[in-house]
Amino acid sequence: MKKFLTALICVLLSLTTVFAFTACRDTGGKSQTDQSGGQLTPETPDGTEPVAPGGYGSVLVVYFSATGNTEAVANYIAESTNGTLFELVPVNEYTDADLNYSNHNSRVYQEYENEELRDVELVSTAIENWDEYDTVFIGYPIWWGIAAWPVNDFIEDNDFTGKTVIPFCTSSSSGLGQSGTLLEELAGTGNWLQGHRFRSSASESDVSSWLEELGVI
């Protein structure tokens, strides 16, 4: 009987050790729970707030749109990501006549021909609480194969260090081309992703398919 009791105690002690070990190991890379079963916030090495699941964190959607197509895409992105919208508005807004690229005397054609005229002043390039955004979507129409230049002022005026930047554009037929890369060079900071071109009349489902591919939603 004494031998049996000793053996039983040994077995119970071993089982306790195994359970304790299993409960403590292998929590790396996964969220942990506190003693009461609630979620513990994962810590970053520098103690800053971690980026939300999906890795995109809080989202800002900045765009310029002369005739509303890019604006529609920007709206879809902001709605799907719970992002903040910010429209880039030129001090001297483009009229229909200004945008008539078939007319070589039009404003936009003159700017196309002469790079020095492309410095388009914006009403504002300053984003409230800029530091709080982890990801910046930047949208524009394609003009002669590149990003419409009214976005340049915003890119030049801001520091994208520590942010993920995702260009998107609308166009009649041209692709994204070098537009994102050229803006990345102009910015000089930020982690720029490839980006995406949408047709002028992009639908909400076109946009959500892309956001799903990116893993943003």
Ligand X SMILES: Cc1cc2nc3c(=O)[nH]c(=O)nc-3n(C[C@H](O)[C@H](O)[C@H](O)COP(=O)(O)O)c2cc1C
The verdict on 143 binding ligand X (CB under 6 A) reads yes
Distances in whole angstroms, Cα of residue 104 to Cα of each of 53, 152, 189: 50, 23, 36
108 lies in the site for ligand X, by CB under 6 A: yes
3-class SS string, the chain: CHHHHHHHHHHHHHHHHHHHHHHHCCCCCCCCECCCCCECCCCCCCCCCCCCCCCCCCEEEEECCCCCHHHHHHHHHHHHHCCEEEECCECCCCCCCCCCCCCCCCHHHHHHHCHHHHCCCECCCCCCCHHHCCEEEEEEEEECCEECHHHHHHHHHCCCCCCEEEEEEEECCCCCCCHHHHHHHHHCCCEECCCEEEECCCCHHHHHHHHHHHCCC
Instruction: Check residue 138 for interaction with ligand X (CB under 6 A).
Output: no
Scan for tokens 């050229």, then name that residue. Answer: 182
By C-beta, is 56 or 176 nearer to ligand X? 176
Binding to ligand X by residue 142, rule CB under 6 A?
Answer: yes
Complex with ligand X: residue 35 or 201, whichever CB lies closer = 201
Number of residues that bind ligand X (CB under 6 A): 21
Q: Closer CB to ligand X, residue 66 or residue 165?
A: 66
Q: Hey, which residues between 70 and 99 contact ligand X (CB under 6 A)?
A: 70-71, 99
From the list 83, 141, 167, 195, which residue makes contact with ligand X (rule: CB under 6 A)? 141
Stretch that binds ligand X, among 42-50, 77-85, 136-144, 155-163 (CB under 6 A): 136-144
d(CA 201, CA 107): 25
Q: Binder to ligand X among 8, 27, 119, 144 (CB under 6 A)?
A: 144
152 part of the interface to ligand X, by CB under 6 A: no
51 or 182: CB nearest ligand X: 182
Rank residues 129 and 173 by Cβ distance to ligand X and give the closer one. Answer: 173
19 forms part of the interface with ligand X (CB under 6 A): no
Return the residue of 101, 117, 188, 209 that touches ligand X, per CB under 6 A.
101
Q: Which residues of the shown chain bind ligand X in the complex (CB under 6 A)?
A: 65-71, 99, 101, 108, 141-145, 170-174, 200
